[in-house]
Structure 1
Amino acid sequence: MDFARYLIEFERILHDPAPAGPYDNPAYMEYTKLNWSRMHRWLKKGVLADETKEVLEGIAQPLRWVIITEPWCGDAAHTVPFIQLMAQHNALISVAYELRDSPPFRIEQYLTNGGKSIPKLIIRDDKGDDLAVWGPRPTDCQQLYERLRAEGADFETQKIALQNWYNKDKGHAVQQELTRLLSDITSSVRSL
């Protein structure tokens, strides 16, 4: 599905009087409502760095991006808007969204430490060959998450710490990491 269809699906879940699992769990529905607001805030206020724009404008070959996500995912609410804004900056980038817990279950091919962590961005060439994979979160945020888990922090503590990290970062880390990744891809394609 494209981004417009993903938003329709997201909104359908929010307004479904009897949603399917896991959205039938009030906690998941609350996360989903928060994520809708967070995602739209970044879509409205998120700013692409000049360096990111420059690298995006330098992409001269078609790229196909696959984003594996779910509306309940807090990390996705903070990173997917920036990925989408980046993709929209170059017409040679097409984006397909897939839900982690629905067919084709592509997440099984892109596990993180054996887990189905999302979001995942798979960057492919126009033939469908993988060029790079990113996710589920920026490196510094991932390190914070791993430290909190090692310390035995409960879910609420982890959630608040990650939320604060994303709010302070304002999308810079995801842009920096993807800018480097795309720069490497662009350099590799030119050398072929």
Structure 2
Amino acid sequence: MKRIIESGIKRSMSYDTYRDLVKELAQKSATTGHNQSEALINYTKLNDRRMKRWDKTLKVSAAARKKLEKFNSKVTWLVIAESWCGDAAHILPVLNKIAEINPNINYRVVLRDENPQLMDAFLTFGKKAIPKVIIIDTATGEVLDTYGPRPSEAAGYVNRFVAMNGGLTESFKEDLQHWYNDNKGQNVIDDITEILNHLQSSSVYL
């Protein structure tokens, strides 16, 4: 596992580099990943606009910032994503805002289709769901926790809908986008704050 993690980190990029990549792909009418379909290209263009908006408008409250600043152990966030992924477009900018607050967080992004072994090691219910955040002890390379592919509230909505309907409909996917827009990243901030607090107080760092 450590070899796979190390390989993923070596192949990863900063968030700023990822944003530049998505912007360039959108301008060229292309997308990350093996599938260069028109639909995924259009999603990449849409996600570039979404991420640009979130990068400018996302806010972290003073209370949340104070909690996040208390985390004092060095970790690496290796985030598996693709430019066409709608959930990634909403979540990755929030993770970046958090990482900017605490210098102990090394935030890296890696592409799913270019790292199949890494993705296969972190499936969600047997599926290659993204974005997937792998939280790693920077010093030891140990995986401490994972997060994703959706914030806790959104995951609950999705799981209940799938249980009742057998899958996601286009109308539900639109509703989910509205949820992200209304929530403004606060559920991700709360989730990550809780994870970091747990890691801080756990025996891992005692």
**TM-score w.r.t. structure 1 length?**
0.90
Distance 1:38 1:131 in 2: 30
**Among 151, 154, 157, the residue aligned to 1:144:** 157
Identity %: 35
Pairing of 1:9-88 with structure 2 (within 5 A): 9-16=21-28, 24-88=36-100
Which residue among 122, 125, 136 is the counterpart of 1:110? 122
Q: Matched residue of 1:68: which SS?
A: strand
Task: Please report how far the alpha carbon of residue 22 of structure 1 lies from its aligned counterpart in structure 2 after TM superposition.
Answer: 5.1
Please give the alpha-carbon distance, in whole angstroms, between the structure 2 residues aligned to 1:154 and 1:118. Answer: 16
In 1: Cα distance, 2:14 partner to 2:30 partner: 25
**Helix, strand or coil at the partner of 1:66:** strand
What residue in structure 2 maps to residue 122 of structure 1? 134
Greater mean alpha carbon deviation, residues 139-148 or residues 77-86: 139-148
CA distance in 2, matches of 1:58, 1:20: 36
Structure 2 gaps, min length 5: 1-12
d(CA) in 2 for partners of 1:190 and 1:43?
33
* Alignment match, 1:157: 171
Question: Structure 1: any 5+ residue segments left out of the alignment?
Answer: none
The two structures, once aligned, show a CA RMSD in angstroms of 2.1
Q: Is residue 4 from structure 1 mapped to residue 23 from structure 2 by the alignment? A: no
| C-alpha deviation, 1:64, in angstroms | 0.9
Query: Would you identify which runs of 4 or more consecutive aligned residues in structure 1 move more than 6 Å?
Result: none
Name the aligned partner's letter for residue 157 of structure 1.
S
Which moves more between the two structures, 12-21 or 27-36? 12-21
CA distance in 1, matches of 2:31, 2:199: 41
Could you tell me which residue of structure 2 aligns to residue 179 of structure 1?
Answer: 193
SS of the equivalent of 1:137 reads coil
Match of 1:134 in 2: 147
The structure-2 alpha-carbon separation of the partners of 1:10 and 1:191, relative to structure 1 and needing over 3 Å to count, comes to closer
- TM-aligned CA deviation for residue 55 of structure 1: 2.2
Contact 1:23 / 1:29 at 8 angstroms: preserved in 2?
no
Shift of 1:180: 0.5
Change in 2 beyond 3 A, CA 1:119/1:140: same
Task: Tell me the matched-pair count.
Answer: 192
TM-score (norm 2): 0.85
Give the 3 Å change call, closer, same or farther, for CA 25–104 of structure 1 in structure 2: closer
SS in 1 for 2:173: helix
